Amino acid sequence: MYPISRHSPRLHLRYLHPGDAEGLFAIYGDARATEHMSFDPRTRDDIDAIVARSITSAATDPRQEYALAVSDNEDGRVIGFGRPTSSQDAADASPLGAGDRTRRSRPCGGGTG
């Protein structure tokens, strides 16, 4: 299953890359974007650790964690992040979510993006 990469006309679902910390911080470091999430805004150090852990876990076998970025096809910028899990792991998971261009948080639906 490595690597996961799915495209729609607007979005790309993929593993995180080292350069994704800035885009992820724009979402997870913003109090308005995390207002309805299960955690407080993250620091840049928190985000750097999330990205590093996610990159490392993508290459492990067996996999313990799946972490996926949602990026904009137009500019490649990360606009969402999630950790899909099985129902047994749901209590420790974060749902797939995204910050729009005004940095408001909104869930990613089952549509085609």
Cβ-based burial of 96 (10 A; exposed 0-12, middle 13-18, buried ≥19): middle
**Mean confidence (pLDDT) of the chain:** 79
pLDDT band at 111 (very low <50, low <70, confident <90, very high): very low
Per-residue pLDDT of 49-87, as tens digits, reads 999 999 998 888 887 788 899 999 999 999 998 887 655
- Sequence-distant (≥ 6) Cβ neighbours of residue 110 within 8 angstroms: none
> How many other β-carbons are positioned within 10 Å of the β-carbon of residue 82?
19
Per-residue pLDDT, 11: 95
> What percent of the chain clears pLDDT 70, i.e. is strictly above it?
73
Cα separation, 103 vs 22, whole angstroms: 14
- Sequence-distant (≥ 6) Cβ neighbours of residue 1 within 8 angstroms: 63
Cα separation, 109 vs 113, whole angstroms: 8
Better-predicted residue by pLDDT, 24 or 99: 24
